[in-house]
Structure 1
Amino acid sequence: MKTKSEEKQCNIMGMVMIAPTRMIVADNTNFKIKLIDNEKCVVVTENKMSSQPVDVIILPENKLAVTLESEKCIQIMSYTDVDLSSDRRIDVKELCNGIAYCHYKFVVTCWSSKKIIIINLEGCILKVLRSPAMFNGPSRVLISKDEKFLYVTDRDLRSNSSVMKIDLEGNLISVFKESGYAVPYGLQQLEDETILVCFQDRGTVLRLTSSLKRCDIIGPEKENMYRPKAITYCHIYHKLYVSCSSEKGKQNADIVKIFNVKWI
């Protein structure tokens, strides 16, 4: 992930597939969005951002949305197989972290203010989900395939963390919270509606059912994975991509590991 011109180690905090052989990553420490050739494992092109990108998702019509947390905005970008370019910005007015999209609306997590906001494409707030009894620090978010629920990784510095399924009114539907799984981060939904979750403290990716019951694991016992952070999956080639640290004790997710994993 690191290019020759970069002095800092990468920190891949967001990833998304745009084609079976192309992936977009958000490199937080180098202020960059990078287009990756998955087959050759090379950076095709990159775009320097004005601040540190936190999350990235794909939008219709060859567009991307990138959260720039410190600038309290969403950067809209265009992409091709070989190029990236910046388009307009959407002012969020909040320190924004994770992002999801559905039907001309963005769902944005605000970790520091412990809430989730739903906004339109102009940045107007449509709904605020905020419950001190529920959120400790919502980080990453997904919208369910039926568009009725949100999956959220909720991180707390005191290890009071969980993965939650809530409805669009903010009501808690189900929760995954187990001893030893304290730092959930990246999320990915599969075609069968199961959810993949990175647990940084365990060096583990858990596969959970849509009701957040454990059903599969990719763990440190076999894979030697440190602090997994971002995750994406290619349904065509059945490849799982996980950003993680190259060495034990490192904080940055400076490499991407690739696994051949087929889920039915």
Structure 2
Amino acid sequence: MNIDLNSDLGESLGAWRMGDDEAMLAIVSSANVACGFHAGDPTGILATLRAATAKGVTVGAHIAYPDLGGFGRRNMDVASEDLIADTIYQIGALKGLATAAGTRVSYVKPHGALYNTIAKDRRQAEAIIEGIRQIDSGLTLVALAGSPLLGWARAAGLTAVAEAFADRGYMPDGSLVSRREPGAVLHDPQEVAARMLRLVTEGTVPAIDGSAVRVEADSICVHGDSPGAVAMAREIRVLLERSGVAIRSFMASAGEKR
């Protein structure tokens, strides 16, 4: 039994520091690296990519709406042609930096508001899918477990991987609790780890109302910007490995390292 553990990294911007990339890269198996639209600058992104290379961590493009001021968490009604071009631009930039760092971009994981919107908005979803297809149809798309996006991506010929969130609350329908609502973000490492062990072994997570939500996922995310993110990721890895679950990138089956 194995599962991928990922985190959003490369999000520091100039003098503004976000998260602890070095510590997280010693724990996770995949790194969703910012592409400059919601966070990150070229120097910091390159440093994160080099650290990921040294640790053998799989790299993905963490694409977003063009929203530095809102950290990519504000909803936007972007035209399809702009979404396609933005997707190509961000992935292309990260591919260049990854080459310089001695690694490669293996997958795409949308960020924040874009992630949540395309989970159910077919028009924007198809634009993101088309952007990925145009620059590199071999890239895997990471999407919310149970969302229509997984089917749309697969129908378009992309490989799609379902993702669960360790540090986010769930609604009874399997969607994430809005960040504007109480219970949206979880902080206790032991609670978070126990929830993820239940996910891996039973296929369910507790919803905010106490009911059990069916979640089938091949990857678990711990947000790098969450308070105590490193402690949560470490506790998840320790508990899962102690329970016989290996932490391994979902790309490992395609012949890539870790």
Q: TM-score, normalised by structure 1?
A: 0.33
The answer to which structure has the higher strand fraction is 1
TM-score by length of 2: 0.34
Greater helix content: 2
